[in-house]
Amino acid sequence: SLSDRLGGVFDRLRGRGALTEADVRAAMREVRVALLEADVALPVARDFVDQVTEKAIGHNVLRSVTPGQQVVKIVSDALTEMLGSDQSDLLLDVTPPAVVMMVGLQGSGKTTTAAKIAKRLKEKDRKKVLMASLDVNRPAAQEQLATLGTQTEVATLPIVAGQRPVEIASRAMQAAKLQGYDVLILDTAGRLHVDQALMDEMKAIADVSNPAEILLIVDSLTGQDAVNVAQSFSDQVPLTGVVLTRLDGDARGGAALSMRAVTGKPIKFAGTGEKLDALEAFHPQRIAGRILGMGDVVSLVEKAAESIQAEDAERMAAKLAKGQFDMNDLRGQLAQMRRMGGLGALAGMIPGMKKAQAAMASGAVDEKILVHMDAMIGSMTVKERAKPALINAKRKIRIAKGSGTTVQEVNKLLKMHLEMSNAMKKIRKMGGLKGLLGMMG
Ligand code: GDP
Ligand code: MG
């Protein structure tokens, strides 16, 4: 699995520091291989890896997980985000009949999915649904839909021999209007490969039926070609969503990422079997896991992150209760700021830190200042850190020398610490521990 492979990459990485650029690049080569093995289209995999590399560099590794696992989590989060939300509702809020048009290659699962969606709309949403097959190419295609209609107890448009797809679509519209159907599902013909005749037919059908939803049905086993299929349909038909079928099989689900990247449309459903209730909402996180082949690493890392945050908060709370906020705590907050590129849990409430953060965000202060502060604290003795009041002029000179900074900078740091601990005391007086923790959470 990817996490095993990343384990190899990170074997030499000792300790639990931030992920370096070299480490991340090495890891991302493995991620790229994993994506390609999961049938993510090459250009999509490349773009994705470039984006995530930026995000991962400098990320801190949690104490209770390995760097490999941490990278898997970062990649999985990015992947989940790219795959979109699990909002899978069809948008059918139009003057009835709302038309849902199914498009895709032959054998992708259009007819089956049409029946699955019809069943779902009927049972879950109490909609009155009519289905019509516009597939005049494949022998018995219209009968196939009629049979599925009988099985699901959903009405199908009576078959009239010799009509062209656009004529059938018009007749279906007419029938749906006259008979008061809420939804009309148009099942179209596919081809083995994308061709212009197919696209022209799809455009003509869309013109006469003005669909509320045009769903591209894609077999998740399609592999590298999925991206071309999606591109052709997306260029020529105004798609509103994607349905990924055969996710019950061996497919690693890479097609999902390609679909999202190329069409920019949500994946509304996942087909998970031949049975007519085997239609599920699309779960980005599950597919991300499947693409990366990583089991439950993600939840492991999430748990680790949670427990560490809780640990930090508890430790901090105990200190505050005693009215303590020493240099070690300040150092922790600075590290958090660097790591997250934002305020630490506590720092957000401190006036001085807020200013520092704003300056950082505006580019007026760069990360170097945080690095300097960290170095100064590093040059303090254990006693000085615990009790900064000990730091007199002589000690300031020593700390400045030890950290390659100036006495002025040491003074600034001490002032900042003083402001922060004063603010802590104020918070304690105002709301006490509970109030503070409330704000933190
Ligand atoms: P169409 O040519 O696009 O209309 O494809 P069909 O709906 O006729 O489906 C082709 C085959 O794929 C049929 O045997 C379906 O039972 C099967 N099929 C469709 N969706 C799924 C799915 O999600 N999982 C599995 N295992 N089979 C599916
Ligand atoms: Mg069909």
Q: Is 15 annotated as a binding residue?
A: no
Q: Which of 112, 219, 274 is the pocket-test mutation for ligand 1 (most atoms within 8 Å of CB)?
A: 112
Q: pLDDT tens digits for 323-351?
A: 677 888 778 777 766 655 444 444 444 44
Say if residue 154's pLDDT is above 50: yes
Q: Is 112 in the pocket of ligand 1 (CB under 6 A)?
A: yes
> How high is the ipTM of this complex?
0.99
Question: Is 248 assigned a ligand-binding role in the annotation?
Answer: yes
Say yes or no: CB of residue 219 within 6 Å of ligand 1: no
Ligand that lies nearest to the alpha carbon of residue 109, given by its number in the listed order? 1
37 band by pLDDT with thresholds 50, 70 and 90: confident
Q: Which fold has domain 322-440?
A: 434 Repressor (Amino-terminal Domain) (1.10.260)
Q: Give the strands of the sheet with 213-219, arranged side by side.
A: 155-156, 129-133, 183-187, 98-103, 213-219, 241-245, 267-271, 279-281
**Looking at domain 2-84, does it have CATH number 1.20.120.140?**
yes
CA of 270, nearest ligand number: 1
249 is in an annotated binding site: no
Class of domain 98-282: alpha beta
- 190: Cβ below 6 Å to ligand 1? yes
Q: Atom 20, ligand 1: which residue's CA is nearest?
A: 109
Quick check: pTM over 0.90?
no
Question: Which residue is closest in CA terms to ligand 1's atom 6?
Answer: 109
Residue nearest to atom 28 of ligand 1 (CA): 274
For residue 109 and ligand 1, the question of a CB distance below 6 A is answered with yes
Domain locations along the chain: 2-84, 98-282, 322-440
Asked if 226 contacts 258 with a C-beta cutoff of 8 angstroms, the reply is yes
pLDDT of amino acid 306: 63
Q: Is 106 assigned a ligand-binding role in the annotation? A: yes
Q: Is 339 flagged in the annotation as binding? A: no
Residue 389 CA, distance from chain mean position: 47
From 61, 56, 100, 103, select the one nearest 76 (Cα to Cα). 56
**Segment 437-441 mean pLDDT:** 41
pLDDT in tens, 406-421: 999 999 999 888 877 7
Nearest-CA residue for ligand 1 atom 25 is: 273
Å from CA of 142 to ligand 2 middle: 8
* Bigger pLDDT: 413 vs 6: 413
Question: Ligand 1 within 6 A of 273 CB?
Answer: yes
Note the pLDDT tens digit of each residue in 208-252: 999 999 999 999 988 778 888 899 999 999 999 999 999 887 777
Q: What is the DSSP letter of 180?
A: T
Q: What is the pLDDT of residues 276-290, one digit of tens each?
A: 999 998 888 888 888
| Type of residue numbered 43 | P
Gap between the Cα atoms of 432 and 426, Å rounded:
9
- Considering every ligand atom shown, identify the ligand nearest to the alpha carbon of residue 108 and give its number: 1
Is 95 annotated to bind ligand? no
What is the per-residue DSSP string for 411-423?
A: HHHHHHHHHHHHH
pLDDT at 358 over 80: no
Q: Is 107 annotated as a binding residue?
A: yes
- For ligand 1, whether the C-beta of 277 sits within 6 Å is no
Other Cβ atoms closer than 10 A to 104: 27
Residue 270 forms beta bridges with which residues?
244, 280
Mutate-to-test residue for ligand 1 from 274, 277, 282, highest number of ligand atoms within 8 A of CB: 274
Nearest-atom number in ligand 1 for the CA of 102 is: 3
Please indicate whether residue 322 or residue 26 has the higher confidence score (pLDDT): 26
Supply the residue whose CA is at minimum distance from atom 15 of ligand 1: 274
